A and B are shown apart, each in its own frame.
Chain A
Amino acid sequence: MPSQFQIATLLIYAASLGLYLLFLRGSSDQMGRVASVCLLGGIALHYLMLLERARASASVPYHDLAGSLSLFGWLLAVTYFGLELFHGKRSVGAFVVPCVLAASLAGWATPAAQASTLPARGTLFALHVTANILAYAAFGIACVTSSIYLWQERALRARRPGPAFWRFPAMELLEGMSRTSVWAGVAASAVGLTLGFLWAQRVEGHFFSGDPKEIVSLVVLAGYGVYLRVSRNAAWRGARASVLCIANFGLVVFSFTVVNLYLSRYHRYF
């Protein structure tokens, strides 16, 4: 049964999405500003919900799928909001907020685990998980902006830029947004992995245990490292780098789903 908080958060996210779509359709700056304010309101309400959940379990809500997805949705919204402030462009909001809504809805639709106090795993572990989920969110946004870039590039190459073409940010800016997001993701992922290795060393006595999650996470980090390297390279920048960015996100999804659920021994929902 969804709480009133959840309903209010969903409604405010939905309002933000509607306004972002209207902004994309009409490019009215005022509409865009209200969309951003709504998104900020959704982020604040969502944070209060996560806080409530965290208090109940005395931990960051990552111990079940519901909590992880909800945290992912919130971090996606936070990262996008930061990106919007940094680049001063709102047209991508109409594509990111549906992902925020979907992740949050999926989180709230999934039955939550019994709200009991979990064994304390410490601040290091909590930061490890939060940083990694933040990285996934940032990579998700980079995937969205790279997809829009590719769509724009194809329309331009086909010499048929339809009505939507003119409403998106310039392709160079989309590239910049992808790079900024990937930088944020790589930094968060590097911090998350380091903290994870430190925690493993503290608990199990060794940094690296060869868990598939550890291996795939390092591959993801390397993949995005390659992206950051080649996206500045003249022969790769543009469409090729965007395809690489999307492919890397495919690996993130693989890590978040198949690896977590079926292959990893230590990771379940993050």
Chain B
Amino acid sequence: MQTVTQIVALGISHRTAGLGLRERVAHRPEEAVRAALELREQRRVDQAVVVSTCNRTEIYAVSACPGREAHDALLEYLSLSRNVAVEELEPAVYRLSGGDAVRQLYRVAAGLDSLLLGESEILGQVRESYRQAAHSGVTGTILNRLFQSALEVGKRVRAETDLGARPMSAAAAAVKLAEQIFGKLSGHAALVAGAGMMGEQVAEQLRNREIGELVVLNRTRDRAEELARRVGGQAADWSALEQSLESPDIVVCSVALDQPLLHRAQMERVMERRRGRGVFLIDLGVPRNIEPEVSTLYNVYLYDQENLGRIVEENRQAREREVPRAEAIIGAQVEKFHTWMATAELAALLGGLRERLQFEREQFLAEHLGRMSHLSAEERRRVEAHTSEMLDRILNEPVERLLSPSEVSRTRHDVDLVRGVWSE
């Protein structure tokens, strides 16, 4: 008879462990694939995928062993392979089975379990982990289906909710605002004054959004050139600041100064030379680099750290409000996956049952036909055909009923029932 297969997951994440422990169990992509291969080679599980990111390392596996045994096997492997004592890992790991393991992967793919709620990078990381594992042949029907559905769930949550729609950092919020003003940034120019960390973050965001032209200014020319090289822009002289303000649509200031860098009168002159063309000023300096009065000029939009921080906070709250909608999508998908798995398991179980009954029939015939020497070859063939037909008649209807779509909600119960009745 078919054995019980179930999905198990064992993991460690930012919710359960500090960075120190997470670093020690983290897997590079090639290590994750090797771990999955070893888990299968060592017969600890039948199929496995290791998902390892900055904030988590999780092993998803299919095992024929009972949950506790399967989890222990995974924990032991993790301990041995990463050289971390089981006692140290034990309090930090979570063990999930069946629907809970499926839900966990769906939540991870949707960004619900991320440190930054709704972040989108995780979906790509899950996709890559699965792609590499599948390429190495360590996945089977169940994990293939599980990961494909998880990627689908991740996409659906992003498409149907606002969980990942709004920026969650000051730099991302600033660039998103720029896009709301100018549309695609490819035809626009930006100036970044200050090659510090904040300036660099915005410059990178602008580069990712394919800004048409990017100029970097810094009091130290070398640093400006270095940043310009990294973000594919060009460096300009600090002394040419006012002149440099004439063409860009986006100006980012993040310079450590005691006094404002841009004053209203100065910006008024710049706007005259720009013939009033609109400009978006992003002031990331503390103290502020741009005089607040600059924002009263026509077609000048000024945002500072405080304004951007408020947007980020509003966005965080908005993302949290979307969690129930995302959870509802996940809940429905977990149910769907559960049904698929139970149906597949039941079909395999019923196939095994049919094989077993056929075997019993053949044994029975071999036993009794041996004693019926008066039967001709033709009569023996007919007895065999009739018993085979009888078996089909007995089995066909209940099997069809069990596997019919209208009965799917019962399949989990049916799997256990059929297995219970026929197990030895």
Contact A171-B176, Cβ < 8 Å, known A26-B160, A235-B275? no
A173 is contacted by which of B159, B183, B278, B310 (Cβ under 8 Å)? Answer: B183
Could you tell me if B159 and A28 are in contact, using CB atoms closer than 8 angstroms?
Answer: yes
Please tell me if B277 contacts chain A, counting CB pairs below 8 Å.
Answer: yes
Please tell me if A172 contacts chain B, counting CB pairs below 8 Å.
Answer: yes
Could you tell me if A157 and B295 are in contact, using CB atoms closer than 8 angstroms?
Answer: yes
Q: Which residues of B contact A168 (CB under 8 A)?
A: 180
Contact A234-B277, Cβ < 8 Å, known A163-B318, A169-B183, A172-B183? yes
Could you tell me if B165 and A166 are in contact, using CB atoms closer than 8 angstroms?
Answer: yes
Please tell me if B340 contacts chain A, counting CB pairs below 8 Å.
Answer: no
B257-283 toward A: CB 8 Å interface, digit per residue (1/0)? Answer: 000000000000000001111100000
Contact A161-B180, Cβ < 8 Å, known A166-B165, A166-B166? yes
Closest to A28 in B: B159
Q: Which residues of B contact A234 (CB under 8 A)?
A: 274-277, 299
Given the complex of chains A and B, what is the CA–CA distance between A236 and B318 in angstroms? 35
Given the complex of chains A and B, what is the CA–CA distance between A240 and B278 in angstroms? 12
Given the complex of chains A and B, what is the CA–CA distance between A157 and B299 in angstroms? 9
Could you tell me if B182 and A172 are in contact, using CB atoms closer than 8 angstroms?
Answer: yes
A159 is contacted by which of B159, B276, B307 (Cβ under 8 Å)? Answer: B307
A156 is contacted by which of B183, B301, B318 (Cβ under 8 Å)? Answer: B301
Given the complex of chains A and B, what is the CA–CA distance between A26 and B163 in angstroms? 10
Contact A238-B165, Cβ < 8 Å, known A26-B160, A159-B307? no
Closest to B325 in A: A26
Please tell me if B162 contacts chain A, counting CB pairs below 8 Å.
Answer: yes
Please tell me if A152 contacts chain B, counting CB pairs below 8 Å.
Answer: yes
Q: Which residues of B contact A165 (CB under 8 A)?
A: 180
Q: How far is the CB of A156 from chain B (nearest CB, A)?
A: 6
Q: Which residues of A contact B161 (CB under 8 A)?
A: 26
Closest to A240 in B: B298
Q: Which residues of A contact B166 (CB under 8 A)?
A: 166
Please tell me if B177 contacts chain A, counting CB pairs below 8 Å.
Answer: yes
A73-115 toward B: CB 8 Å interface, digit per residue (1/0)? Answer: 0000000000000000000000000000000000000000000
Could you tell me if B301 and A166 are in contact, using CB atoms closer than 8 angstroms?
Answer: no
Contact A238-B275, Cβ < 8 Å, known A156-B177, A170-B182, A172-B181? no
Please tell me if B128 contacts chain A, counting CB pairs below 8 Å.
Answer: no
Please tell me if B238 contacts chain A, counting CB pairs below 8 Å.
Answer: no
Closest to B274 in A: A234
Could you tell me if B183 and A170 are in contact, using CB atoms closer than 8 angstroms?
Answer: yes
Q: Which residues of A contact B355 (CB under 8 A)?
A: none
9 shortest interchain CB distances as A-B pairs: A170-B183, A234-B275, A235-B276, A234-B276, A159-B307, A234-B277, A172-B183, A173-B183, A172-B182
Interface residues of A (CB under 8 A from B): 26-29, 152, 156-157, 159, 161-163, 165-166, 168-173, 233-240
New A-B contacts (5) at CB < 8 Å, excluding given A161-B311, A237-B277: A27-B162, A27-B165, A166-B176, A238-B298, A239-B299
Can you sample 16 A-B contacts with CB below 8 Å?
Answer: A26-B159, A152-B180, A156-B180, A159-B307, A161-B311, A162-B314, A166-B176, A168-B180, A170-B183, A172-B183, A234-B275, A234-B276, A235-B276, A235-B298, A237-B276, A238-B299
